[in-house]
Structure 1
Amino acid sequence: MIQTLPREREREREREREREREMKEKFHFVLVHGLGHGAWCWYKVIARLEAAGHTVTALDLASSGIHKSDAGSIASVAEYLAPLINFLAHSVLDHQVILIGHSLGGCCISYAMEAFPEKISKAFFISAFMPHSGDYFFDPELVQEFVSNGLMKLLYTTNDNEANSSGPIAMYFDSTKALKYLHNKSSEEDKCLALACLTAAPIVLAEERINLTPERYGSLPRFYIRCEEDACNFIFDKRALAYNPPHKVFSLPNSDHSCFFSVPDALVRLLLDICAE
């Protein structure tokens, strides 16, 4: 007796076959991390995209990951984003790339979209900020909110003493709060990795505004991926989805803010499905 596969399994196999046919075209993905993170956070996504035959570039922004600059020494947003801008300027010459920004990385790729729209085919914002022109790169009111609830701390020039300092020079995530808000569904191994690798970010990100134009930034398709179990959705739903709607919105079930850790297979599958359309 021949056993018939359940209908759902048949549909899934057909989708897989369709993906294989469509993915004859290969893409170049540029992955941009959020505040305090680095290229290291994308390791699962990099492995899966490269296994599927795609080119992947994951960058450490200035003072992030293994980049050797000190966060307190970064004097401008342009300096912070120099690794991304220099890569697009000098290493992307004969093709277009797909930008993927996570969290504050959404502001980073928005800056790049304004600078090099001709080098970018589309952009993905994953639980990310999608700013309007004139917005702060990182809203100082949000920084204060994060400081008030303990998620973030400020670093000062004089022995971390606010009273004796001219002002904060950097900001960083509190390790305990980071696990609660950013990695609530991540594995224990990935939580340990994050705590070992998180770095401070320059305070200048909360002092400068971003300039975007409809002719450049606005000419590119933007796709938003919402992580359904993200403890920070209350922030991004307001500041991205309602405030500056993208072309399309997608959802990742069972994902915390760090979907690259908690649901890498689903994330990569969604990215490739959208790119193949």
Structure 2
Amino acid sequence: MMLRMVMLTLFGLLLGLNAAQAQQQPSRPPVSQCQAIAQNIPGVTFASFKTSDVQLAQTTAKEEVKIQYIGHSTYTIESPGGVIIATDYNGVYRPPVTPTVVTMNNAHSTHYTLHPDPAIHYALHGWSDVPGEKAEHKLQVGDVYIRNVTSDIRDRWGGGGLLQKDGNSIFIFEVAGLCIGHLGHLHYELTETQYAQIGRLDVLMVPVDGGLTMGSDSMSRIVKRLRSALILPMHQPSALEQFLSTFGAQFKIAYASDTIIRVSMKNLPRQPQILVPKGM
């Protein structure tokens, strides 16, 4: 009887220990399905994962994502699960519905605010407030996985002044099988490492302004290299025609007939398409 009681006690302790360990061990983070791994730069191969080993960031490719241009560099992205994201949120160009997540870049005051609406659950800075560090985001919000790739910027007034390391973030939103990228306030052409970190982008939001970020020729080279199925311009409407003129017949140019752009894996253009949103 005594031996049995001792064994039951030890068994109970082991069960308690295993339960405590299970509580301490965080669930595995989602893995990007869009990211390329730079194994032999400039040669880049896409990552391959076993679904039994990881939590997939994109749960379905059958549903559509709603995208709306709000103004300047602010787009809203609404996931099938109802997560609403506002890009380069500055508090001036406000979406009709309070977003769940906002992203920001501090190159100019029109791309961020230090006083976002308190009802916003996540305000993601594209820069780090800690000298020498860079912002790093890997966040699952509902059915959206959000990550970033940093890039350098000039001083916030857009001139040829001081360099700010990692002052801009290219935010990437993985949802419904889609890889959606927002270049933010991009000032320099991307490196091979950055292209590898970005990976595949099905939808690309690109600033056009003739030189406040980058000249049209330089920006168009990035667009051609990424070769996204759907390219959505933003930032400065006055530079739009100059930007469009840098593309040849390989890129189709169209103008949105509705304020809401509905995107899914099924309806992505087969030929790269620059779609000018209403209001741009």
For the aligned pair, the TM-score class normalised by the smaller chain equals 0.3 to 0.5
More contact order relative to length (CA 8 Å, sep ≥ 6): 1
Structure with more of its chain in strand, by fraction: 2
Instruction: Kindly name which structure, 1 or 2, has the bigger radius of gyration based on alpha carbons.
Output: 2
Higher helix proportion = 1
Task: Give the TM-score of the pair, scaled to structure 1.
Answer: 0.33
